[in-house]
Amino acid sequence: MSDTMNRTGRHFARLAAAVALAAVLAAATGCSSAPQGTGEVVARKNEAADFSKLADGFFFEGQYASALQYYGEALDANLAVDNMEGAIGARNSLGRTYLALGRLDDAARELGDALEDARAAGLPGSIALSLSNLGELRYARGDADGAVALFEEAAAVVSPKDPTSAVISHNRGVIALARGDLDSAEAFLLAAAKVNEKEKRWIELATNRYVLAAVFNARGDLDGAIAWAYRALAADKAAENTLGIGADLEAAAKLQRKAGRADLAFDLYRRAFGLWLAANREQDAIRCLNALSVLAGELDKEDYLKRYTAILDSLKAEE
């Protein structure tokens, strides 16, 4: 069970809901095109929106400490003018960031407050989003049944046209995959992808496609899985999402290697290795190096084998 939970947790981690949160916030917090000079309330709402956008960028780059700081600033700015919808969105973002950090008690506090406020304010989209995020928290704590119940409750609250519906469908798909219900998983994920593609939410779309690759891999359909991995890569490139691109390249590399196409896997791992180096992601780069050294040996690429082995040896010497 723990291995399944860990794998599924990684799928949840790829669901960067902050973009959807930004969309939820937009109606309440204002935007850069809003008229200026109309009072402190508008100014603070715009400030909150700017903080949230900045935090989203840090979240997607895996810089969670910075994301926490600016989501906190967004929360304070919204509370200062009693902008409850904006504050609920900021609390949800804080909760998801704490969840990504494994700080589950902190996540429970923020998400619980978000749900309480959303219910008091009578905001269906915010209620659904809070329930969905609490479902992820429940799953992280090992309660899959509780997570499913919260996702189902969230789905019943919100309209299928609401952006939050795609987040909920994705989460339900991840749970279905973990339970081996591959047909349901595919249906949920395709529903989420349809919404996200229509709205051009590229990062969420990439996440949908990434998990669809896992669904097809679980079926033993490697060609289908590889096709979805490449489609995830295309969406992450459209979003210029560095961490997503790296994850997609590695996923495609693993699948190509599993399919017996070592040469294609080698190329994909090299691209991922270069990306991780450029992004200063040492552990990710080392993971690719290990795979590349093995593949170089299998493909009789002696020069590469020597190069990658030397790098690995030097890194071990520094430990």
Cα–Cα distance for residue pair 319/310, rounded to 1 Å: 15
Secondary structure letter of residue 35 according to DSSP: P
Mean pLDDT of 153-182: 93
Residue 127 within any structural domain of the chain: yes
Beta strands in the chain (DSSP E): none
Of the listed ranges 1-15, 222-236, 286-300, the one predicted with least confidence: 1-15
Mean pLDDT of 229-240: 97
Structure tokens of 221? 């359909």
Residue 196 within any structural domain of the chain: yes
Instruction: Count the domains in the chain.
Output: 1
Q: Which domain holds residue 115?
A: 2-233
Residue 211 within any structural domain of the chain: yes
Mean pLDDT of 100-110: 97
CATH number at residue 207: 1.25.40.10
Most confident of 3-7, 25-29, 192-196: 192-196
Mean pLDDT of 104-126: 96
- Tell me what percent of the residues of the chain surpass a pLDDT of 90: 78
pLDDT value, residue 35: 47
Helix, strand, coil percentages (3-state) for the chain, rounded to 5, are 85, 0, 15
Q: Torsions phi, psi of 16, nearest 5?
A: -85, 90
Cα–Cα distance for residue pair 276/285, rounded to 1 Å: 5
Q: Torsions phi, psi of 246, nearest 5?
A: -60, -45
pLDDT band for 12, please (50, 70, 90 cuts).
low
Of the listed ranges 9-13, 176-180, 280-284, 291-295, the one predicted with least confidence: 9-13
Q: Which residues of 269-307 are buried (b: 16+ CB within 10 A; e: fewer)?
A: bbbbbebbeebebeebbbbbbebbbbbbeeeebeebbee
pLDDT value, residue 230: 98
Long-range own/partner contacts, residues 79-85 (CB < 8 A, 24 or more apart):
80/44, 81/40, 81/41, 81/44, 81/45, 83/28, 83/29, 83/41, 83/44, 83/45, 83/48, 84/117, 84/121, 84/123, 85/24, 85/25, 85/27, 85/28, 85/29, 85/121, 85/123, 85/126
Which residue has better confidence, 38 or 311?
311
Mean pLDDT of 13-30: 40
Structure tokens of 224? 């289908």
Structure tokens of 175? 């749970």
Mean pLDDT of 217-228: 98
User: 238: phi > 0 → left, psi -120 to 50 → alpha, else beta; which?
Assistant: alpha
Is residue 136 within a helix (H) or strand (E), and if so which, with residue range?
helix 124-140
Residue 201 within any structural domain of the chain: yes
Residue 317 within any structural domain of the chain: no
pLDDT digits (tens, 9 = 90+) for 25-72: 333 333 344 444 557 888 888 898 899 999 998 998 889 999 999 999
Residue 125 within any structural domain of the chain: yes
pLDDT value, residue 43: 87
pLDDT value, residue 38: 59
- Does 3 score more than 60 pLDDT? no
Of the listed ranges 21-25, 61-65, 258-262, 264-268, the one predicted with least confidence: 21-25
- Tell me what percent of the residues of the chain surpass a pLDDT of 70: 88
pLDDT value, residue 202: 96
pLDDT value, residue 319: 64
Which residue has better confidence, 293 or 15?
293
- Does 17 score more than 90 pLDDT? no
Residue 300 within any structural domain of the chain: no
Cα–Cα distance for residue pair 96/14, rounded to 1 Å: 12
pLDDT value, residue 144: 93
pLDDT digits (tens, 9 = 90+) for 276-296: 999 999 999 999 999 999 999
Residue 239 within any structural domain of the chain: no
- Does 272 score more than 60 pLDDT? yes
